[in-house]
Amino acid sequence: MLPEFRNEPFTDFSKPENISAFQSALTEVRKRFGKRYPAIIGGEQVGAAETFDSINPANPQEVVGTFAKADVALAERAVQTAYETFQTWQYVAPEERARYLFKAAAIMRRRKHEFSACMVYEVGKNWVEADVDTAEALDFLEYYGRQMLKLGGPQSLTPYPPEELDLRYIPLGVGMVIPPWNFGSIMAGMTAASIVAGNTVVLKPSSAAPAVAALFAEIMEEAGLPPGVLNFLPGPGGSIGDFLVGHPKTRFIAFTGSKEVGLRINQLAAQPQPGQIWIKRCVLEMGGKDAVVVDETADLDAAAEGIVVSAFGYQGQKCSAGSRAIIVQDVYDALVEKVVARAQEITVGDMTDQKNWMGPVIDEAAFRKIMNYIEIGTEEGRLLLGGHALDRPGYFIEPTIFADVPRDARIAKEEIFGPVLSIIKAQDFADALAIANDTEYGLTGSLYSRNRSHLERARREFHVGNLYFNRKCTGALVNVHPFGGFNMSGTDSKAGGPDYLLLFTQAKSIGELL
């Protein structure tokens, strides 16, 4: 009998043996730099006419891996293979499908530092952020496996003699899983949920993070997953993304990424294609312009810590990042001073060095976009900290803080996805709440307050999918904080929650007259 689900413990990096183990993993992953990775279709390694490189953003001269650049012909082969495999995979018992996830979790647990080290190099995570990401990937595997056992079992229905009643949750079909580069756990979770629900998958990883996805595909293969259930198809979204989304045999699209791409997917998926007999389902998680609100009753030291960690954790490259701090005027000056002082303690550098807390942004395009926003910010607010790139190889930007930012400024409204914090002054709590809600997004939010009426009002009126009180607005845990947002932040799909697998299934009600 399976033990009850519990979240995976994080690694204690204060212990010398854990430091040594992680350093060894970094060394082993580095030995694979420059390795060539094919597409995997139906269990077969398939090359492509062209390739592309995944690079280390801390040192762009280093190639983490060289990947097959899938074209439309390979994409067609992947979809057809997934469709053919679905004809048998859909009838595999839910408990058997769940066991593949449990087996994969056991393998990943043995290789957890390897998985984390890959993210250190490929996407610039520090040791703690990478370890937490791997722990979440393990949580998704364990949790979704258990949820499928529940969903695949008898469902409670009102008796209606003399009929024998049954409600089954059956899979949808072929799914496109299009994950982001910033969280390997999201890639693993979207894929695992699709598979355990009985669907087959074409996994098109982000071109910035294909090595992490290739490692996950390797783990699933080692777990014995039948060929064709998971098809690994690296390549640029611009050339194959539209084709995959629009294919008549595509049944659903699970996407996490930018608002612009998410809306395009939603639009393409809504257009029926010749031969298509279903309405495609979209599971979309997009961006955020998340706020940490602080009222006059708050613990200012705790609020300063929460603001800094929310804004600059993983270089602000989280959809949940608290890129706005909205502070009531009574405590504004005192708290701004504390925030700047705390942010000045941040160490920036190569993430292979444990002492560094903040690393590079993901690539040159992101670097240029963030630096452009910083230039805009110098016109819109008062620069208190940072504002510059670091003079070293890699895409390093200082933690940057602007104060006195107008509530309608671009840096207060638009998602920057980098280490840039906008601090906005509010007249009172009601005004702060209005500013927080004045955005097209609705993903995460945080309120620091010791005023019960303010906390209760926020429960009702702070319009985000994940709301936190007196803590940071990042760091959701599987089945502790089911994650997903409103409005332009997505379809509020609540990854890591009890209803997530419902998005990858359809209900079939059966009644037999006896």
With a CB cutoff of 8 Å and minimum separation 6, the contacts of 420 are 311, 316, 323, 370, 373, 374, 377, 400, 402, 411
Catalytic residue among 8, 122, 136, 285: 285
As a whole number of angstroms, the distance between CA 245 and CA 426 comes to 43
Determine which one of 8, 122, 136, 319 is catalytic: 319
CB 98 within 8 A of CB 145: yes
Give the burial class of 12: count Cβ atoms within 10 A of its Cβ; 0-12 exposed, 13-18 middle, 19 or more buried.
exposed
Q: Cα dihedral angle (172, 178, 184, 189), rounded to 10 degrees?
A: -10
Active site residue 319: yes
Q: Whose CA is closest to 303, among 432, 408, 180?
A: 432
Closest C-alpha among 385, 406, 378 to residue 340: 385
Calpha distance 225→229 (Å, rounded): 7
Tell the residue number behind the tokens 């077969």, with chain if given: 44
Instruction: Count other C-beta atoms under 10 Å from residue 84's C-beta.
Output: 15
Kindly give, in sequence order, each residue whose CB lies less than 8 Å from that of residue 39, ignoring residues fewer than 6 positions away.
45, 46, 47, 48, 68, 70, 74, 78, 231, 232, 233, 234, 235
**Considering only CA atoms, which of 330, 347, 327 is closest in space to residue 339?**
327
Picking from 298, 328, 335, 287, the residue whose alpha carbon sits closest to that of residue 469 is 298
Query: Please, are residues 435 and 291 in contact by the beta-carbon 8 Å criterion?
Result: yes
CA 52, distance to chain mean position in Å, is: 23
Query: CA 129, CA 316: separation in Å to the nearest integer?
Result: 12
Contacts of range 87-92, beta carbons closer than 8 Å, 24 or more positions apart: 89/171, 89/198, 89/199, 89/200, 89/226, 89/228, 89/229, 90/170, 90/171, 90/173, 90/198, 90/199, 92/198
The angle subtended at Cα 196 by Cα 36 and Cα 242, nearest 5°, is 55
Q: Give dist(CA 152, CA 504) in Å, integer.
A: 13
Cα–Cα distance measured from residue 377 to residue 307, given in angstroms and rounded to the nearest whole number: 18
Whole-number Å distance between alpha carbons of 46 and 240: 16
- Under 8 Å between Cβ of 108 and 119: no
Whether 285 is catalytic is yes
Q: Hey, what are 356's tokens?
A: 């560094």
Catalytic residue set: 285, 319
